[in-house]
Structure 1
Amino acid sequence: MNAFEIRPIRADDDATIASIIRTVMPEFGACGAGFAINDPEVDWMHRAYNAPRSAYFVVEREDRVCGGAGIAPLEGGDADTCELRKMYFLPELRGLGAGAAMMSRCLQAARGFGFRRCYIETLTGMDAAMRLYERTGFRRVDASLGATGHGGCDRYYVLDL
């Protein structure tokens, strides 16, 4: 039995997931312009991901939302490319396999929406996340794709779906 459950985001999860994102990002130095911490979408994730070819999932542990991640079309990118977005977990969720399970759920949704590639932006210092991406089959690319607005990120990955 898993120590967590992954489910689609609900409107009543918005404040919790916004708090998680704004708590976790500074832990990795992701503060200031160019990071999701200042993205107004963070405050209304349910509505933002209730768009075509988009989905956001939360992870619950002991009936408490402890993290989330989503996929959406890559802004300014090819129509067949999605972006894995806003994947953040509280410390108590890390090391339980939730990252791999969430990645699988998001990639399954991406394939279901007909995407052929998935793109991720991250930053130096998010070593565990980068190891997860690489274990999943993502390959590092030298430059950003699309127009995500995440100017603070400095590591880029792509996976053929």
Structure 2
Amino acid sequence: MLIRRIKKEDNKNVEKIIRDVLTEFGGNREGLAWADPELSYLSEVYKKENTAYWVAEKDGKLVGGCGIGPVEGAEGVCELQKMYFLEESRGTGVAGQMIEKALDFASNYYDKCYLETLSNMKAANRFYQKHGFHKIDKPILDSEHYACDVWYIKDLK
């Protein structure tokens, strides 16, 4: 599988992947990435030097993606954002490759990486723990993703 930076022409497909996966896990509601207004133009959102979004492509078809962006109000902390993969790509190792790429990138700009998720995404929770994230009791700041019920943090330095 090819892992590369998002391009403008990927926006529609990435939005569909995110919405499809959220629907699969009951996350098609307010308080989650489902309601994020920027879902339609992620290639524009991740243009700053300290941000990035990658997509995974298999045989010309996008199967997943993830991003890194700052946590506004928490100095030195980034967030692993919008990491979603279609069922067909889960278990292939591509998510592991992508998170390593994302965390390597993040370590150039940040000291810690934070993420928010749902408890019913059991495989994702195991995946994050396997990759060195530690569960915390509450979000580090209030966010628009108030429906998330699990939070993690990882030291990057």
Instruction: Establish whether residue 153 from structure 1 lines up as the match of residue 148 from structure 2.
Output: yes
| Residue 143 of structure 1: aligned partner | 138
DSSP 3-state at the match of 1:44: helix
Q: State how 1:1-40 maps to structure 2 within 5 Å.
A: 4-40=1-37
Instruction: Establish whether residue 98 from structure 1 lines up as the match of residue 117 from structure 2.
Output: no
Q: TM-score, normalised by structure 1?
A: 0.94
Q: Percent identity?
A: 40
| Residue 68 of structure 1: aligned partner | 65
Question: Contact 1:74/1:148 (CA < 8 Å) preserved in 2?
Answer: no
DSSP 3-state at the match of 2:153: strand
Question: Shift of the alpha carbon at 1:75?
Answer: 2.7
| Residue 106 of structure 2: aligned partner | 110
Instruction: Establish whether residue 43 from structure 1 lines up as the match of residue 43 from structure 2.
Output: no
DSSP 3-state at the match of 1:79: coil
Q: Deviations over 1:42-93 (max 9, x none)?
A: 10000001123100000001111111000000133x2200000000011111
RMSD over aligned CA atoms reads: 0.9
| Residue 128 of structure 1: aligned partner | 123
Question: Shift of the alpha carbon at 1:148?
Answer: 2.9
DSSP 3-state at the match of 1:143: coil
Give the Cα separation in 1 of the matches to 2:14 and 2:143.
20
Aligned residues: 156
Give the Cα separation in 2 of the matches to 1:36 and 1:5.
25
Q: Runs of 5+ in structure 1 lacking a partner?
A: none
DSSP 3-state at the match of 2:152: strand
| Residue 55 of structure 1: aligned partner | 52
Misfit runs of 4+, over 2 Å: none
Instruction: Establish whether residue 89 from structure 1 lines up as the match of residue 85 from structure 2.
Output: yes
Q: TM-score, normalised by structure 2?
A: 0.96
